[in-house]
Amino acid sequence: MSSNINNKITGIGQILRKDWQLYLLLAPMVIWFIVFLYTPMAGLQIAFKDFSLFKGIYGSTWVGFEHFQTLFNDELFIRSIGNTFLISLYSLVFAFPMPIILALMFNELHHAMFKKTAQTIAYLPHFISVVIVAGMVVSFLSPTTGIVNLVLDYFGFEKTYFLTNPDYFRPIFIGSTMWKEAGFESIVYLAAIAGVNPSLYESARVDGASRWQQIWRITLPSILPTIIIMLIIRIGNLVEVGFEYIILLYQPATFETSDVISTFIYRVGLQGSQYDIATAAGLFNAVIAFILVYSANRISRKLSSSSLW
Amino acid sequence: MNSANVTLSVSNVSLKKVYKRYGSTEIVKGIDLEIGAHEFVVLVGPSGCGKSTTLRMIAGLEEISDGTVSIGERVVNKIPPKDRDVAMVFQNYALYPHLSVAENIAFGLKLRKTPKDRVKAAVDEASSILSLDPYLERKPSDLSGGQRQRVAMGRAIVRHPKVFLFDEPLSNLDAKLRTQMRAEIKRLHKRLQVTTVYVTHDQVEAMTLADRIVIMRDGKIEQIGTPMDVFLHPANTFVASFIGSPPMNLLDGKIRKSDGKVAIELNDGCIVPVPHKDGMSFTDGQEVRVGFRPEDLDVVVNDQNHTAPMNCSVDLVEPLGSEALLHLQIAGQSAVAKTTSHGRSSDMSGIANTTQVFGNLKHLHIFDRASEQSIY
Ligand SMILES: Nc1ncnc2c1ncn2[C@@H]1O[C@H](COP(=O)(O)OP(=O)(O)O)[C@@H](O)[C@H]1O
Ligand SMILES: [Mg+2]
């Protein structure tokens, strides 16, 4: 038994020695993970403690699931879960397919110059900081000087202050995120499309496939594994809706639809200094995220044989 | 449905002064080619000579820069591939990785909205012709190279096209499988009788498959003829050294005329007499190349009346079993002789020490050195 373990250890030692260059390259990443992601996890225990700054993380007293009870009795927290879920769901439905459609459209462009220009224009918004995008959205939608309201006014419609109306928050948030990211995200799909063997298309053309049939029967099935991987990643990030962007766009008037788990944590934790409750909420968030990635991966492995791990 | 025995409607293919240019570079330089219905024509030539480009112009995958391509009575220059009624088999098989073998074969029919039962019948027929029955539900990634190529052919035959186009379909297979598939393609053509244009760089494939061989070089046709035709009567030094393996030996020499007799003097002074033929015409001192196939050079005299002894030294002997290849130097030029005179013995010293080879004058070729054309 112990010789078995010894064998294993020598085995690992040999592997390490054989490819030490590779492990050396890997080391900074591992260290980064340990220092910035795994060590701070020790702090998660305050989710189960009555945290006091003076007693420190380890000195505070245990309180069990008290903070979770508080959270789930808090209507505002429940509301933030609902909002997170809805914003994620809508963006999955509307924003996720957008880069795929864009990539398919770019792929149909054959005028090299026009194609390059169109792609560049579509990629550009990605490089604009969220702060600026939020600023643009705020000024475009401004009730007095915003272009949208000026146009509405011109055609005789009533001016609206969109950003204070909870009904408009989700469309504005998802729409402007799409505008910012769809082009850039399409690069992944374009790369996948570029990897499709060109003779598949030639063969299909000889066999009688129209352009539409080529997209539907060759391009889409060929990039399906990529789409699925992107979908798994997306689902894993479902609870992580663009925190900074929401902070920048929302205001108390729209909390009803715009307050999500991460903004809730931010307000309770950092602004309200209730670190323990905020940590409990964050832990809850992380557990949900983990369950989502895990199940998405399982389902996808069952259905399509492509999976992250 | 037993259409394999029904004579299919097939077409002749005709290329008239066909050019292909990419910008200012000319790739195909005015090809004229008539391919009869039911004929199996092989385009052969070194890599990059424009064979695939020519085939792809027939398929409609490349635009035709100049000239006309007709299939049947119809000029197809402006007709998209799907309306040309051709089927093409690609070197890398071009199978759809996400579809099963059966779905791959049925692909072209499904696109044309063929009724389900007809599709199934056609797939069953093709799979039995190509012995694919056990693999119908598999994905292409679970097949061997030969099986994949058969699926690609199945996809072509279910369409019952007027013309089959093959672009180096066997190049990705190992030697043994290639021989096997070659025979299978030949059988398939015998059975279906569909006009076929087949591209390869392999002259053995061309010789064994073709009704007629088209030898191309640098975007032009060098010679068209039956396999034996181009083997026995190569039109120029290019064809002579391309067809046949090992290639024909070409030795530089000069024409010597005296007393109405013609001979060729090699660089080392050896004399190769030229037997009289009607209509032959040489000028004294004309620079030529003498061609002997390796089979026509031997270390023993086979035919006393038609022999040309030449001095040589042996570089290397390659025993092939019943035959042996002798790598020689004749008049300062390399040549290869194929001989059986070692008598299947393992002792090569006899032929390795030979200092004279004998050319068979019955199969003498002479080419003009400047024009490279056959003149005898
Ligand atoms: N799209 C293209 N643009 C420019 N040159 C090309 C293109 N396609 C092929 N060629 C050139 O045309 C020549 C003939 O190609 P091809 O017909 O594929 O030769 P092969 O006889 O080996 O099949 C090659 O030299 C190749 O580089
Ligand atoms: Mg080629």
Task: Give residue-wise pLDDT tens across range B114-131.
Answer: 999 999 999 999 999 888
Distance A134 CA to ligand 1 centre (A): 52
Q: Which of B122, B109, B101, B106 is nearest to B2 (CA)?
A: B122
In Å, how far is A198's CA from the nearest CA of chain B?
9
Q: Do residues B138 and B12 share a domain? A: yes
Q: Ligand 1 centroid vs B201 CA: distance in angstroms?
A: 14
pLDDT of residue A2: 57
Our answer on whether the CB atom of B22 is closer than 6 Å to any ligand 1 atom is: yes
State in Å: Cα A136 to ligand 1 middle: 51
**Is residue B375 assigned to a domain?**
no
Task: Please tell me the predicted confidence (pLDDT) of residue B7.
Answer: 47
> Which one has a higher pLDDT value, B172 or B166?
B166
pLDDT in tens, B325-344: 999 999 999 999 998 887 77
Specify whether B200 is located in the same domain as B316: no
Q: Which residue of B has its CA nearest to A202?
A: B61
User: What residue of A is the nearest CA neighbor of B160?
Assistant: A207
Same domain, B177 and B259: no
In this structure, the answer to whether residues B110 and B186 fall within a common structural domain is: yes
Alpha-carbon distance of B348 to B345, in angstroms, equals: 7
- Cα(B49) to ligand 1 centroid in Å equals 8
Residue B62 lies inside a defined structural domain of this protein = yes
Instruction: List the Cα angle B137/B141/B142 in 5-degree steps.
Output: 55
The pLDDT, as a whole number, for residue B6 is 44
Q: Report which protein residue has its CA nearest ligand 1's atom 12.
A: B27
Residue of B nearest to A213 (CA): B111
More confident call, B371 vs B353 = B371
* Other Cβ atoms closer than 10 A to B142: 12
Look up residue A102 and give its two tokens. 């864009």
Closest among B2, B1, B7, B3 to B194, alpha carbons compared: B7
Out of B186, B217, B242, a domain closes at: B242
Cβ contacts (< 8 Å) between B94 and chain A: which residues?
Answer: 197, 199-200, 202-203
Angle, CA A128 vertex, CA A126 and CA A134 arms, to 5°: 110
Structural domain ending residue among the three candidates B215, B242, B269: B242
Q: Residue B249 forms beta bridges with which residues?
A: B292
Across the interface, whether the CB atoms of B94 and A199 are under 8 A apart is answered: yes
- Structural domain that includes position B253: 249-368
Give A240's strand partners. Answer: none
A224 contact residues in B (CB cutoff 8 A):
98
Residue B254 sits in the same domain as residue B355: yes
**Which of A199, A218, A224 is the closest to B90 by Cβ?**
A199
Task: List the end-to-end C-alpha distance of chain A, in Å, as a whole number.
Answer: 31
* pLDDT at residue B293, as a whole number: 95
Q: Which domains does chain A have, with CATH numbers?
A: 65-303 (1.10.3720.10)
**CB distance B7 to ligand 1 below 6 Å:** no
Are B162 and B45 contained in the same domain?
yes
Predicted local distance difference test score (pLDDT) of residue B300: 84
Half-sphere exposure of B243 (CA within 13 A, CB side): 29
Dump pLDDT digits (tens) for A226-264: 998 888 888 877 777 778 899 999 988 899 999 998 899
The answer to whether the CB of B27 is under 6 A from ligand 1 is yes
Please indicate, yes or no, if residue B60 is contained in any of the structural domains: yes
**What is the C-alpha to C-alpha distance for residues B161 and B152, in angstroms, rounded to an integer?**
14
- Which residue in chain A has the smallest CA separation from B96? A200
CB of B46 within 6 A of ligand 1: the answer is: no
Given a contact cutoff of 8 angstroms between Cβ atoms, the answer to whether A153 and A159 are in contact is: yes
| Cα separation, A285 vs A238, whole angstroms | 10
Nearest to A101, CA basis, from A215, A195, A238: A215
How many whole angstroms from its chain centre is CA A156?
39
Per-residue confidence (pLDDT) for residue A159, from 0 to 100: 85
Please, which residues have CB within 8 angstroms of residue B172's CB and are 6 or more apart in sequence?
B91, B92, B93, B145, B149
pLDDT average, residue stretch B303-322:
88
Q: Give the separation between CA B119 and CA B124, rounded to whole angstroms.
A: 9
Task: Determine the residue among B56, B110, B166, B171 to mutate to test chain A binding: the one whose Cβ has the most chain A Cβ atoms within 10 Å.
Answer: B110
Q: Tell me the pLDDT band of B35, cut-offs 50, 70 and 90.
A: very high
Distant-in-sequence, close-in-space partners of A144: CB < 8 Å, separation ≥ 6: none
- CB of B157 within 6 A of ligand 1: the answer is no
Residues of A within 8 A of B165 (CB-CB) are 206
The percent of residues in chain B predicted with pLDDT above 70, rounded, is 98
- The Cα A43–Cα B26 span in angstroms is 72
The predicted pLDDT at position B376 comes to: 85
Measured between CB atoms, which of B61, B86, B107 is closest to A202? B61
Model confidence over A23-49: pLDDT tens digits?
999 999 999 999 998 998 888 888 898
d(CA B155, CA B366) in angstroms, rounded, equals: 47
Tell me if B374 is assigned to some domain.
no
The predicted structure's pLDDT at residue B236: 95
User: Does B202 reside within a domain?
Assistant: yes
Cβ A280 vs Cβ A189: under 8 Å: no
Cβ-defined contact of A205 to B82 (cutoff 8 Å) = yes
**Helix A97-108, helix A166-194: angle, nearest 10:** 50
Residue B376 lies in a domain: no
The CB of B48 under 6 Å from ligand 1? The reply is yes
B147: left (phi over 0), alpha (psi -120 to 50) or beta: alpha
Domain end (from B223, B242, B261): B242
Per the prediction, chain B carries an average pLDDT of: 91
Same-domain pairing of B198 and B313: no
Residue B373 is assigned to a structural domain of this protein: no
Buried b / exposed e over B9-22, threshold 16 CB at 10 Å, is: ebbbbbbeebbbee
Q: How far is the CA of B121 from the CAs of A207, B109, B116, B124, in angstroms? A: 18, 11, 9, 5
The domain tally of chain B equals 2
Sort out which chain B residues have CB atoms less than 8 A from A200's CB and list them: 94, 96
What's the rounded Cα separation, in Å, for the pair B71 and B86?
9
Q: How many Å lie between the centroid of ligand 1 and the Cα of residue B27? A: 7
Question: B100 to chain A: which residues are within 8 Å by CB?
Answer: none
Neighbours of A164 (CB within 10 A): 14
Q: Is residue B234 part of a domain?
A: yes
Owner of token pair 């064994």: B208
- B89 and B26 in a common domain: yes
Q: Within chain A, which residues score under 50 in pLDDT?
A: none
User: What pLDDT does residue B3 have?
Assistant: 42
B52 lines ligand 1 (CB under 6 A): yes
Per-residue pLDDT, A302: 81
Q: Please tell me whether residues B147 and B270 are part of one structural domain.
A: no
The verdict on B37 and B88 lying in the same domain is yes
Q: How far apart are CA A251 and CA A137, in angstroms?
A: 14
Which CATH number covers residue B339? Answer: 2.40.50.140
B211 and B181, same structural domain?
A: yes
More confident residue, B113 or B69: B69
Which among B94, B96, B99 is the nearest to A202, CB-wise? B94
Report residue B46 as tokens: 């070194």
Check: CB of residue B328 under 8 Å from CB of residue B315. Answer: yes
Return the CATH number at B199: 3.40.50.300
Whether pLDDT at B56 is above 50:
yes
Return the residue in A110, A200, A203, A205 with the most chain B beta carbons within 10 A, the one to mutate for interface testing. A203
Q: How far, in Å, CA of B134 to CA of B362, rounded?
A: 53
Residue numbers in B near A192 (CB within 8 A)? none
CA B140-A200-B43 angle, to 5 degrees, is 100
Q: Give the pLDDT mean for B3-12.
A: 60
Looking at per-residue confidence, does B350 or A101 come out higher?
Answer: A101
SS3 B359: strand
pLDDT in tens, B244-265: 989 999 999 999 998 888 999 9
Place of tokens 């643009």: A136
What percent of chain B shows pLDDT beyond 90?
A: 73
CA distance linking residue A84 with residue A285, whole number of Å: 10
Number of H helices, E strands in chain A: 17, 2
Residues B182 and B235 in one domain: yes
Residue B14, CA distances (Å) to A69, A207, B31, B36, B197 in order? 84, 21, 10, 8, 11
